[in-house]
Chain A
Amino acid sequence: MTTVTGARHGVAFWLQLGFTLLVCMLLVAPMLLSLLAGVTENYLVGIESGLTTRWIAEVLRGYSDTILLSLQVALACLAATLVLGVPVAYVLARRGNWLTRLFEELLTMPIAVPGLATALALIITYGGVGEFRRSWLFILVGHVLFTLPFMVRSVLAVMSAVDLRTLEEGAASLGAGFARRFFTIVLPNSLPGILSGSLMVVTLSIGEFNLTWLLHTPLTKTLPVGLADSYASLRIEIGSAYTLIFFVMVIPLLLLLQALARFGQPPR
């Protein structure tokens, strides 16, 4: 398309650029304000009141357990989606029939069905199993349901792009059994998909709230649950400092994901 670089831009270009910059400001301004509020002594007074790290320290003192639990759930969720999802993606890539397509369709349902409904269904079914209901595994189950389709999609996209069949037939003709082919050919060739799927799963799990709010108990609070608490009951500086910690955890993952996507693209 019109790949104009240099000075010959028309009015339409500048109008659209202005509009896009405006949209960008709308998105970024509250993030910056919240970062600022998290390190400001008194947000109502403004930056003149001085900069401080005491709000961050206060959050780390009061809420570090939520941060740790979120990391724990995210890593466990990653392990579960890898073990469950990569084999599924492999079967979907190699065998396309009505049954696998139906399963693929069903598997994406937890994205379409609101988290609140899924959480309610889980509570109705397993809420009576006290031990399970009270443990962090209850939250993990919800997160696995929600993130599994992202892992499968991401791995499947890469597996469909490389010619697994030819590679595997070559290896099989040289006498490699299934396990050997899977671990030395299928997995290495799918690595970009596994990597971006993993980043996606961890990022989504750390931020998941719709399911988690109903699934959590006072002893199993994740980071977003703690965030909701702090927004509702604590001063804006503490909520902001808490949000700042969340940004620091999540935005590097997102940037990595984007870099990976660019790296995987053919040069233009």
Chain B
Amino acid sequence: MIQSGIGSRVLALALVAPAVAVFGAFFLLPLARLFVVGLSGPEGWRTYAAVLVEPRYLESLVSTMLLAAAVTAVTLAIAGTSGLFLARNRFPGRALLVALLTFPLVFPGVVIGFMVIMLAGRQGLIGTLSEQVAGQRIVFAYSMAGLFLGYVYFSIPRVLLTVMAAAEKLDPQQAEAARALGARPWQVLVHVVLPALKPALLSAGAICFATAMGAFGTAFTLATRIDVLPMVIYTEFTLQANIAMAAALSFVLGIVTWLALSLARSLAGTSVAAAA
């Protein structure tokens, strides 16, 4: 029985035991090992300090965070606008539009990278169009700008769905009341709608930021020369065989993304991470 007493506690324990065992053995233990290996290099604990002291690593950490912040801001603006619009209006073709907008949700980073190549690569759409219009081929896929485009591309569906779900739960009477009191549409938006959407925007933004920090596949497809943190980790591990540094960098990266999500969750007061 699960209602009460020792018997139910034993049963509950037995039910979660397999998951706890797998999770402990294959996630918590390896993560602890990762931390220890980060300490085991010739530099000892200074390996962790190097993340913040050595220009190469610090620059990559900072540029990755700036990229993630820019992706988050732009995605929130784009998907927030479209999400709010789709949640508040009904028109023919709306369902199809929503379905199309959510396709990239399940694309892996490598496919997102390929989509960026299709748009902004050497044989891409933007290059072809710009050549016809301005006589010059614009190609920016294989750089930080391409990565930015890819992460925005990938993040739009997720933020859109979160905003739509939150906007559909809003109490329409509040906006009605504001309008009845003489508020203009933009005032209703700024003072009523956006504050009510704040938790959703925060959590969607945090997911967006964490994904852009830690994603690897897109950068891998576009170019190995983009110095975002995941690429630096990969290079340290495979080419330099500097396992201690790779471990330390991964651990710091994991802490940053996990903190971003936890912070947003405590600010938003809802469960964030798995809002897929």
B34/A209 in contact, CB under 8 A: no
CB of B23 within 8 A of CB of A107, answer yes
Partner of A113, one of B23, B81, B185, B254: B254
The answer to whether B109 touches A210 (Cβ under 8 A) is: yes
Stretch from B44-52, B55-63, B87-95 contacting the other chain: B87-95
**Closest residue of B by beta carbon distance from A246:** B111
Q: Which residues of A contact B153 (CB under 8 A)?
A: 26-27
User: Which of A55-63, A71-79, A85-93, A187-195 is the contact stretch?
Assistant: A85-93
- A121→B89 contact, CB < 8 A: no
Whether a CB of chain B sits under 8 angstroms from the CB of A49 is no
In the complex, the answer to whether A210 meets B276 with C-beta atoms within 8 Å is no
Q: In this assembly, does A204 line the interface, its C-beta being within 8 Å of a C-beta of chain B? A: yes
- With a cutoff of 8 Å between Cβ atoms, the chain A residues found around residue B78 in the complex are 23
Contact with B along A3-24 (1 / 0, CB 8 A): 1110000001100110111011
Interface residues of B in 91-148 (CB under 8 A from A): 91, 97, 99-111, 113-119, 123, 125
Contact with B along A37-60 (1 / 0, CB 8 A): 100000110000000000000000
A21 CB to closest chain B CB (Å) equals 8
Assembled-state Cα–Cα distance A149/B19 (Å): 11
Q: What residues of B have a CB within 8 angstroms of the CB of A243 in the complex? A: 111, 114
The answer to whether B258 and A113 touch across the interface, beta carbons within 8 angstroms, is yes
Number of A positions contacting B (CB below 8 A): 90
Contact with B along A161-201 (1 / 0, CB 8 A): 00001001100100000100000000000000000000010
Asked if B175 is an interface residue, CB under 8 A from chain A, the answer is yes
Q: How far is the CA of A150 from the CA of B271 in the complex (A)?
A: 13
- Closest beta carbon of chain B to A267's beta carbon, Å: 14
Interface membership of B200, Cβ < 8 A: no
Report yes or no: A251 in contact with B103, Cβ–Cβ below 8 A.
yes
Does A158 interact with chain B (Cβ within 8 Å)? no
For A118, the chain B residues whose CB sits under 8 A away are 27, 30-31
State whether the Cβ of A135 lies closer than 8 Å to any Cβ in chain B.
no
**B106 lies within 8 A of A112 (CB):** no
Chain B residues closer than 8 Å to A117, beta-carbon distance? 34, 214, 233, 250-251, 253-254
Q: Is the CB of B30 within 8 A of A13?
A: no
> What residues of chain A lie closer than 8 Å to B99, measured between beta carbons?
255, 258
Chain A residues closer than 8 Å to B237, beta-carbon distance: 120, 214
Residues facing A in B216-266 (CB within 8 A) are 216-217, 220-221, 230, 233-234, 237, 243, 246-247, 250-251, 253-254, 257-258, 261-262
| 4 other A-B residue contacts (CB within 8 Å) besides A103-B20, A112-B210, A236-B123 | A17-B85, A113-B258, A120-B233, A145-B27
Enumerate chain A interface residues (CB-CB to B < 8 A): 1-5, 12-13, 16-17, 19-21, 23-24, 26-31, 33-34, 37, 43-44, 83-85, 87-88, 90-91, 94-95, 103, 106-118, 120-122, 124-126, 141, 144-145, 148-150, 153, 165, 168-169, 172, 178, 200, 203-204, 207-210, 213-214, 224, 227-228, 231-232, 236, 239, 243, 246, 250-251, 253-255, 258
